[in-house]
Chains A and B, each alone.
Chain A
């Protein structure tokens, strides 16, 4: 039993969610000590599984009254420690709130609970001619609630935008237990964009319990191409050339040789193992312009020295290609026992530069780094391979990661494109934003979350002295 909790808390939680809805045994809590980011860990003291908004509100009130920190969690696929219970306390797991409440094809919106897995919505929409556009690579497992928290992107954000562009409204529970609705099924609501503020707030403002999402019409057709290049520079130049020509691909992804080898081992797609880089390019829209666009892209790739440009023959081949791309991170397990995926953004024209820097940094720290990323919007994902059992290697990985992200900032970019700040990037906030900007954010958070009981130690650096701040030197190596 956790020592620092008021003794009345667990019985109170049991009254709210029942015995099936509470975990308090040490062994049961262990798996909740981290998410997809495994470098830092901390076990919650209690886990609860509410099944409706009312229960969430009651649990929140109960935590507030007890003065205990609480943090929401969905599928736990965050790569930045977004679900880490920094101060221990109560973890509110929303995986039992997993219903699709409404699909309205005429007004093109759906209402879902936060625990709905992203791909379930798309599956439920099969046959309607509509889909939910944000398609993070982990869409087979991550929840829409988690997507809202981190404002998730995905390969198709280049054309369709990120989660915030597709959320019409949310119902949420504020840290004082009040249930509020922001926005709703209609598109425009006057006043301050509170929905926009909620999306991407990483659970520091409120716990989202219901989401109205926009549904997007399926494009009439797709053309999916695979450009094979003998040098990374040629590939990145091709990216610039394509965008420079005013083409907006639905997706434009780059995979380097290291990742190609892992994917080939996992999926046997037939990727050329000797290529230095491949570009996965997709255009979609009305059938009528697609062939011309495709022709243009093939041409541009050739001009930049592409060895060949392959076309996906049919829907099945397209689906396989995307499956490979989306599961790329997971396939890393085949290359090394542990990995750390970075998530930085640079202006597109800086891609060749940053990739050269990454190689150089990797060499200097003797860390192997492979790359797979959303090239179209300059969102890079260098993946650092290491063995977690060697603490010295872990230090080198952290050092190399920091240098890469520093470089992103130096190029005028950002330290996260889509994974969020979580606990991983919190140290960079002061470098990314001015003290004034951070102060505005902190004050906004305080307005809703005055005691910082909800998701403490996340996203915004806390003032020194509260004991929750994470420091790089305290990071532990463990999985």
Chain B
């Protein structure tokens, strides 16, 4: 029968928290009760993108929970193989939506990965390499540096050299992650002017909000940030956009760097002053879910402040849906399809609000997308760090999109926008990928959508 004696009993003390935390075991960072929420029913498996692709239960939520618990209990070692299964997780949280037992998977995998990073032999985790240090942490999270880095990219695009690089596959000759980064870049329009620090409500004032710009978003999606601000104004909101806000910290945190993320969180607490506004509005699902998680990521003296901050955070669709949308007047006679960004649908449970808002646009038709809530493979920086799985999921997503016959895809997250647009460009399809606020803004301004 079972070869192991009974692996559970000797670890009883770790469960009750009586044993001293074991620094060499990443599982000691986790509240053991959370493992017990999982009743091993397997109902989550088919919702998990990596399992659906690979069919290996070690790459399913149930399997990953079992692995983490196995390591915590000392039944298995944190072998490179086990690490791989955990690294391959997209942190898309589709499993949380699917799990009827309410397992909070994110609260297992995130601290476990943070701890895994620090227990990496010789202290050099996967995220201690040049790419993470210089590109992800050093560039992505610093709008000013990023803007500078985009100057040559704009030039390449203006000269159409980028298309040539993509079409000829030359990007594959660059260091892999840099090559992918290049192909992810959207067509950069002329640089949008910075948002001012205040934009007043149009018409009767209904709310006062602060807009979180995001670091990547601010640079690559300047026009969407403007659209979001205008839509908020049109809905009677005073919009504050403090200059001193910083990156949400998700890139650091998800790569296992908890401390720098905490510093960013506290800078945002100071910059966004939650007490002065009705809501902190975010238009990037990934940032939104990170901001909403500020309250439980760190347990220190400021936790209560962070919890209060988190309570004010709203995705822009969620916020407008709660506020009651001012009817958008301009017709947009197009068929569109909606992709559920993981960090919106699963992490924040915002599914219907964006659809409801879009349905208010005259003459717009929404075609349902098969597997609309299966991750597109963007998953934060996953498409840079796990290219193979990211590509498989991107191809699957595009296939489903093409099946609808629709040429406009709407989604509420920057990563998804980039990922879907990249895949369609690489495969030579013409697809418009937009944020719901882009469409609402067009409607409020009575402008047409061009494809």
Contact = CB atoms under 8 A, between A and B. Distances in A.
Contacts of A338: 36, 39
A242 B77 CA distance: 57
A27 B44 contact: no
Nearest to B8: A478
A35 B42 contact: yes
B38 interface: yes
A43 B70 CA distance: 14
B300 to A, nearest CB: 29
Nearest to A95: B55
B164 to A, nearest CB: 35
A335 B103 CA distance: 12
B81 A479 contact: no
A43 B3 contact: yes
A478 B12 CA distance: 13
A331 interface: yes
Most buried by A among B51, B55, B103, B370: B55
A32 B60 CA distance: 12
B4 to A, nearest CB: 9
A330 interface: yes
A337 B79 CA distance: 28
A273 interface: no
A329 B1 contact: no
B39 A339 contact: yes
B42 A76 contact: yes
Interface string A25-38: 11110111111101
Contacts of A332: 39, 101
Chain A interface size, under 10 / 10 to 19 / 20 to 34 / 35 or more: 35 or more
A42 B42 CA distance: 17
A35 B45 CA distance: 12
Interface residues of B, number: 43
B201 interface: no
B319 interface: no
Given A32-B57, A42-B2, A43-B3, A75 B45 contact: yes
B41 A329 contact: yes
A331 B40 contact: no
A333 B38 contact: yes
Contacts of B100: 266, 327-331, 333
Interface stretch (B61-69, B206-214, B291-299): B61-69
A166 interface: no
Contacts of A40: 1
Interface in A311-350: 327-334, 337-339
A52 to B, nearest CB: 13
B241 to A, nearest CB: 35
Interface string B131-146: 0000000000000000
Interface in A6-45: 23, 25-28, 30-36, 38, 40-43
A354 B371 CA distance: 42
Contacts of A30: 66-67, 70, 75-76
A93 B55 contact: yes
Contacts of B98: 140-141
A166 B397 CA distance: 32
Interface string A51-78: 0000000000000000000000001110
Nearest 8 CB-CB pairings of A with B = A333-B101, A330-B100, A95-B55, A327-B100, A337-B36, A27-B76, A77-B42, A31-B63
Interface of A: 23, 25-28, 30-36, 38, 40-43, 49, 75-77, 93, 95-96, 98, 115, 117, 119-120, 123, 138, 140-141, 265-266, 327-334, 337-339, 389, 474, 476, 478-479
29 contacts: A23-B56, A23-B58, A25-B81, A27-B67, A27-B70, A30-B67, A30-B76, A31-B58, A31-B63, A36-B42, A41-B1, A41-B2, A42-B2, A76-B57, A98-B55, A115-B55, A140-B47, A140-B98, A141-B44, A141-B98, A266-B100, A266-B102, A327-B100, A330-B101, A333-B101, A474-B1, A478-B6, A478-B7, A478-B8
Given A25-B79, A31-B67, 8 more contacts: A31-B57, A95-B55, A117-B46, A138-B43, A329-B43, A333-B101, A334-B101, A338-B36
